[in-house]
Structure formats: C-alpha cells, structure tokens
Structure 1
Amino acid sequence: MEKTLTPGINHIEFWVSDLFAAMKFYNSFLTLIGWKQISGASFSNGAMVIYFVERKNDIKTASLGMRHLCFQAVEKKQVDQVYDALAAEGAAFIRGPIAMPYSEQYYTVDFYDPDGQILEVAYTPYATLG
C-alpha cells in the first residue's frame, strides 16, 4: 500500500563540529517540545527528521542561506522551559523569552547552537500561514 505524501520538509541535516556536543545540546531542548531522539545522530517529531553529521575539519564561513530555524512550541510554558534548560547548558541567547508583535501571544526565545547556528523556539497560537 502506497503512503500518501503531502508537501513539506522531508528532513533537515546539520553539519556539526562535535556530534556528541551537538546531540547533548539539541536533546536538552528538543525533548521539551515533543521531539524524540531516534538514533545517536537524529531526532524526529513523527513527521520529519533532523540528522546531524560530524564535520570536524570544516570551517564555518559567513554565507547566504538560511538565517535561522524556528521550532514550534505547543504551550507557552515550553518556551520558558527551553530557556531554563539552555541557560543551564550555558547557551548564548539572542533574545527572550519575550513577547513579540508578529501575532497575538507570539512568545519566543532565540539562541545559538554550539556551532553558531541561530535557532528559535516560539509559541505562536494566532500566527497565520500565508
């Protein structure tokens, strides 16, 4: 029986300088917002997968491309829980937790992963798509 596919993102692959550090960091907050670690180098939310590939000798450079990746929190308190967990890990924050005027009750925290990727966890109950 063939599976019905819908448009969307199939997977995301992060290149990281230290796989162990990346997995520890991402595990510290992804599990708080409903993701599960499914292998030594990946997480899933049941609809998509994030893979991590260690690239120890690569040098990060400034380039055009994705600015940041935002993860959806389904409860406002999850944003605060993510902040607390990342603060305990010594993460570098850009802003938040803070309410933003993008939509009613938009509540976010923005931060860097260990390799300097910009990430966000946001609660957006009234944001519209499109």
Structure 2
Amino acid sequence: MAAGIHHLEFWVSDLSRSLPFYQGLFNLLGWTQLNHFSFATASCDFYLVEKPGLSKEPTAGVRHVCFNADDAKTVHAVGTYLREAGAHVIRGPLEMDYSEGYLTVDFRDPDGNVLEVAYAPNHAFAAAGQ
C-alpha cells in the first residue's frame, strides 16, 4: 500500500441527519458506499461514527478536509446540491489563485465541520522524499 491517508473517521452527533448529507456528497464525488456508515475510493475510506450529545468545540487540529473532484462540472454540481440541501456554504463555487484552474466550494457538514470540494487540474503534489 502506498503512503497516504488510509481512512478518516468523523464523529457526528446524529447519524440519521448526517448520513443523507454524506450520501449525496459522496455520490456526486464518485465514492462507493460500503455500508450504512462508510464510504470509499480506491485509496481512502471515510467512516461516520455517531456520538450523541457531542457538540463542535473550537480546538487546535484539522481546520478542514478537501475532497478532490474529477472536473469543474462536479464542483458546480456539489455547490447546487449543497444549496438545495440547505447546507451552510462558506464560499463558492469560485476560482482561487492556488493554482491555475483551481475551483472550490467550501461548506459545513451538519455538525459544523468545514469541508471543501476542489478541482485542481494544474496542481502537482511534491514527490516523496523531496
């Protein structure tokens, strides 16, 4: 297995509220639903774990998670989905100057976690060891 992110585990306060949100999102992004609480690509799994009574607290740690989109059309479809679902869209879809053609939509999930979907056709990851 190559180096990278193996899985992400997100705690949610209400699985019945979060699951439809993530099903819609991951369906647009081409992820496979593995069971009632997890999704996957060829290189990463994403799990939802219900923790009733928990609330979002400001802490040091991850500010947001960005998911890759295969094309600009997908970013726009996610933006439309989010608005139709009544999600809190922070910004976008809009182009940013991170790299040429970088298109993003930033938003919050039902528990307030900040997520991003981006299409970055000209972004190149640094090679390992450089």
Q: Same fold (TM over 0.5)?
A: yes
Gaps of 5+ in 2: none
Residue pairs, 1:12-23, within 5 angstroms: 12-23=8-19
Contact preservation (8 Å) 2:89, 2:106: yes
Say which SS state the counterpart of residue 111 (structure 1) adopts.
strand
Distance apart, 1:90 and its partner CA? 0.1
Residue pairs, 1:55-70, within 5 angstroms: 55-70=51-66
Q: Does 1:129 align with 2:130?
A: no
Distance 1:58 1:22 in 2: 14
Report the number of matched residues.
Answer: 126
Structure 1 segments, 4+ long, off by >2 Å, are none
Distance 2:113 2:56 in 1: 10
Q: Which of 38, 41, 48 is 1:42 aligned to?
A: 38
Distance apart, 1:47 and its partner CA? 1.6
Matched to 2:25, the amino acid is: F
Distance 1:119 1:60 in 2: 14
Distance apart, 1:60 and its partner CA? 2.2
Distance apart, 1:36 and its partner CA? 1.4
Distance 2:45 2:73 in 1: 24
Contact preservation (8 Å) 2:55, 2:111: no
Gaps of 5+ in 1: none
Most deviating of 110-119 and 52-61: 52-61
CA RMSD of aligned residues (A): 0.9
Distance apart, 1:41 and its partner CA? 0.4
Q: What TM-score do you get using the length of structure 1 for normalisation?
A: 0.93
